[in-house]
Amino acid sequence: MSESAQPETTQPGTAQPAGPIAFLGLGHMGGPMAVNLVKAGYTVTGFDVVPAALDAARAHNIPTADTAAEAVAGAAVVLTMLPSGKHLLDAYRGTGGEPGLLEVAGPGTMFLDCSTINVDEAREAAELAVAAGHRSVDAPVSGGVVGAEAGTLTFMVGAPEEDFGAVRPLLEVMGRRVVHCGGHGAGQAAKICNNLILGVSMIAVSEAFVLGEKLGLTHQALFDVASAASGQCWALTTNCPVPGPVPTSPANRDYQPGFAGALMAKDLKLALNALESTGVAARLGPLASEIYDTFAAEGGAGRDFSGIITDIRDKSAH
Ligand code: NAD
């Protein structure tokens, strides 16, 4: 980030416009996040490889560039919100003879990646950025499209202290909670550890409800007990997989996401990769990854991940 890009204040929620931001990846999440930056007064130039995403961005008053290089030229911050680590590393390095973003960007540019990717890929991206004379922050999010639109995302940030301080005002425009988790890659690590808990706990809650059904318990009775006992968890009390006890949970709207099964399957694959590369003797994580892969492949990709309960019920003996 150049001198002129330093945010002038770190007051929560009152970030001053920083230097120009290149926003790459204007999809479900990136589109509304970019809108919030524009509304807050930041100078944003958006780019996406899909023309429809560029059209949608312009319709929301986000100026766009015709190429990534054009968006990045003169930017103080390069913010990416891409599908995977491969997309990110390809964009950083360049493909097909095209120069990568790290080459095109001016010296000392802040590379801020908010995509959800492998921890190892995040560390590699940071190493590449720093080796090219830039700064690097990983800041994956939770909160989904609703959080992106409302500016209420949670950011989990991996970066040296001073880089965290530099991007914090910007993140506070797009989110409500910004947590500094450690150095490069720590944001991604926190994200997949959390989602490992979430994925496994949703399966446990769902199995318990199906077992309760078999044993003649009403959903409400099990909820009333478990939500005030040691079975209490977010999967039960906020995203309850059966309709009724929590009226706002996706189960009450035929499992419309919410947090889609495809994204849970993706995040558990990232957790699985990290479990394997670190040699953790995990058993539930790999199993949960397999369970959500099957769920996603058998029609659950676009449904809320709590729809896993219908899978468990359907596959149970009748
Ligand atoms: P998406 O597919 O809607 O958007 C990604 C966008 O990146 C697409 O528009 C695609 O065309 C664009 N893109 C790909 N390569 C590009 C490149 N080289 N340059 C510019 N644009 C490029 O995905 P999304 O739902 O917005 O998710 C983005 C990231 O956020 C993912 O890593 C996802 O795991 C994570 N995430 C998503 C959610 C969610 O609820 N959707 C929640 C938390 C985290």
- Decide whether any atom of ligand 1 lies within 6 Å of the 94 Cβ: no
CATH at 67:
3.40.50.720
Report pLDDT for 318.
83
Q: Sorting pLDDT into bands at 50, 70 and 90, what band is 213?
A: very high
- Together in a domain, 203 and 290: yes
Q: Is the pLDDT of residue 1 over 80?
A: no
Single out the catalytic residue among 39, 191, 269, 315: 191
Question: What does the radius of gyration of the chain's CA atoms come to, in whole angstroms?
Answer: 21
**81 in contact with ligand 1, CB cutoff 6 A:** yes
Q: Is 49 in the pocket of ligand 1 (CB under 6 A)?
A: yes
**Mean pLDDT within 129-154:** 96
- The model's pLDDT over 248-306, given as tens digits with 9 standing for 90+, comes to 999 999 999 989 999 999 999 999 999 999 999 999 999 999 999 999 999 999 999 99
Per-residue pLDDT at 13 exceeds 70: no
Residue 170, both tokens: 């910007």
pLDDT in tens, 226-241: 999 999 999 999 999 9
- Are residue 117 and residue 52 in the same domain, yes or no? yes
Q: Taking a C-beta distance cutoff of 8 angstroms, is the pair 84, 90 a contact?
A: no
Q: Indicate whether 69 belongs to any domain.
A: yes
- Give the Cα separation of 122 and 88 in Å (integer): 9
Residues 61 and 164 in one domain: yes
- Tens digits of residue pLDDT in 27-75: 999 999 999 999 999 999 999 999 999 999 999 999 999 999 999 999 9
- Ligand 1 atom with the smallest distance to the CA of 26 is 9
> Is 119 inside a domain boundary?
yes
Same domain, 203 and 303: yes
* pLDDT tens profile 145-195: 999 999 999 999 999 999 999 999 999 999 999 999 999 999 999 999 999
Whether pLDDT at 7 is above 80:
no
**Residue 50, in any domain of the structure:** yes
Domain count, the chain: 2
Last-in-domain residue among 182, 200, 222 = 182
Domain co-membership, 51 together with 26: yes
Which protein residue has the closest C-alpha to ligand 1 atom 1?
Answer: 27
Query: Which is higher by pLDDT, 301 or 18?
Result: 301
Q: Is residue 9 part of a domain?
A: no
CA angle 196, 85, 265 (to 5 degrees): 35
pLDDT score for 264: 97
Whether 13 is in a domain gets the answer no
% pLDDT > 90, the chain: 92
252-266 core/surface letters (b: 16 or more CB in 10 A; e: else): eeebebbbbbbbbbb
pLDDT value of position 38:
97
Q: Based on the fold, state whether residues 131 and 273 are members of the same structural domain.
A: no
Q: Is 3 within the bounds of a domain? A: no
Are 156 and 277 found together in one domain?
no
Asked if 178 and 31 sit in the same domain, the reply is yes
User: Quick one: which atom of ligand 1 is closest to the CA of 266?
Assistant: 34
**Tokens 């558990």, located at residue:** 268
The pLDDT of residue 94 is above 50: yes
* 253 within some domain: yes
On whether both 113 and 199 belong to a single domain, the answer is no
Between β-strands 153-158 and 141-142, what pairing exists: parallel, antiparallel or unpaired? antiparallel
Assign 12 a pLDDT band (cuts: 50, 70, 90).
Answer: very low
* CA 80 – CA 109 distance, rounded (Å): 13
Decide if 191 is catalytic. yes
Alpha helices in the chain (DSSP H): 30-39, 51-59, 68-72, 85-93, 101-104, 119-131, 144-150, 161-174, 186-214, 219-226, 234-237, 261-278, 284-295, 308-315
Tell me whether residue 216 is in a domain.
yes
Question: Among residues 152, 182, 212, which one ends one of the domains?
Answer: 182
Atom of ligand 1 nearest to the CA of 260: 40
Q: What is the mean pLDDT of the chain?
A: 94
Q: How far is CA 38 from the centre of its chain?
A: 20
105 and 230 inside one domain = no
| β-pairing verdict for 110-113 and 141-142 | unpaired
- Residue 133: what pLDDT? 98
215-221 CB contacts, 8 Å cutoff, 24+ apart: 219/243, 219/244, 219/245, 220/244, 220/245
Which backbone phi and psi does 94 adopt, to 5 degrees? 90, 150
Q: Which residues pair with 78 in a beta bridge?
A: 22, 111
* CATH number (domain holding residue 270): 1.10.1040.10
Task: Provide the residue range defining the domain that includes 118.
Answer: 21-182
How far apart are alpha carbons 47 and 65 in whole angstroms?
6
Of the candidates 182, 206, 241, which is a domain's last residue?
182
pLDDT at 2: 32
User: How does residue 6 score in pLDDT terms, banded at 50, 70 and 90?
Assistant: very low
CA dihedral 279, 281, 284, 290 (to 10 degrees): 40
Mean pLDDT computed over 139-143:
96
Are both 97 and 158 inside the same structural domain? yes
Say whether both 175 and 261 belong to one domain.
Answer: no
Share of the chain above pLDDT 70, in %: 95
Instruction: Specify which residues 157 forms β-bridges with.
Output: 180
